[in-house]
Structure 1
């Protein structure tokens, strides 16, 4: 059974990329529909809107600028840390260096698509050589 489904609403974790801090906030499940729509979570320090990172987000150390940059890039690409609580949110790159490859390959889960991509690249190269 999924942990988050069993034990009621868990708090969402919001991050402020400017201050490099994270805060747990009331889940939108706990709020009325009207309050959930209108609620904006602002950073207590800088008062800018924070990013909803999900239940499973663990913030990097405040001083780790590369990890905060990695998390911000992933968030901007729509990747957060939500799951049902069973197995976690899935694979996320551990370092900033791995982010580009992760983003390039995230929509190609099987070998067939990778092969087609390679073939397309070869055909485009041959076409360029011909012209």
Structure 2
């Protein structure tokens, strides 16, 4: 059974690539359709729009620019950290060297 379905709405994790920070935000499961259409999560620091990285995202340290660059590259190619909670989001590259092969396997072009 899916962990996120059993234990109710988990907060979504959003990232700001400019500030290299992540923030938990209200889950859309807690809101009605009218409220969802008005959502626009902005970074509290720079006020730029943040992106939904999924429940399983664990942000790199803010000073680790290479890891943030890798996460952004994956996100730009449609790879985030969404899952139902059973097995996690699956394998994600741990370094920039692995990204090109990972994207090739997932039919994404670099």
Query: Does TM-score exceed 0.5, indicating one fold?
Result: yes
Which sections of structure 1, spanning at least 5 residues, go unmatched?
108-131
Check if 1:68 corresponds to 2:68: yes
Check if 1:27 corresponds to 2:59: no
- How many residue pairs get aligned? The number is 107
Greater share of helix? 1
Check if 1:51 corresponds to 2:51: yes
Partner of residue 16, structure 1: 16
2 CA distance for matches of 1:71 and 1:85?
20
Displacement after TM superposition at 1:88 (Å): 0.4
TM-score, with structure 2 as normaliser: 0.95
Over residues 39-76 of structure 1, what are the superposed CA-to-partner deviations in whole Å (9 max), with x where a residue is unaligned?
00000000000010000000000010010000001111
* Aligned-residue RMSD, C-alpha: 0.7
2 CA distance for matches of 1:57 and 1:79?
11
2 CA distance for matches of 1:34 and 1:63?
38
Check if 1:6 corresponds to 2:10: no
Displacement after TM superposition at 1:29 (Å): 1.1
1 CA distance for matches of 2:29 and 2:78?
21
Displacement after TM superposition at 1:95 (Å): 0.5
Larger radius of gyration: 1
Where 1:54 maps in the other structure, the secondary structure is: coil
2 CA distance for matches of 1:30 and 1:72?
27
1 CA distance for matches of 2:104 and 2:85?
27
Where 2:46 maps in the other structure, the secondary structure is: coil
Displacement after TM superposition at 1:4 (Å): 0.3
2 CA distance for matches of 1:76 and 1:34?
28
Runs of 4+ in structure 1 off by over 3 angstroms are none
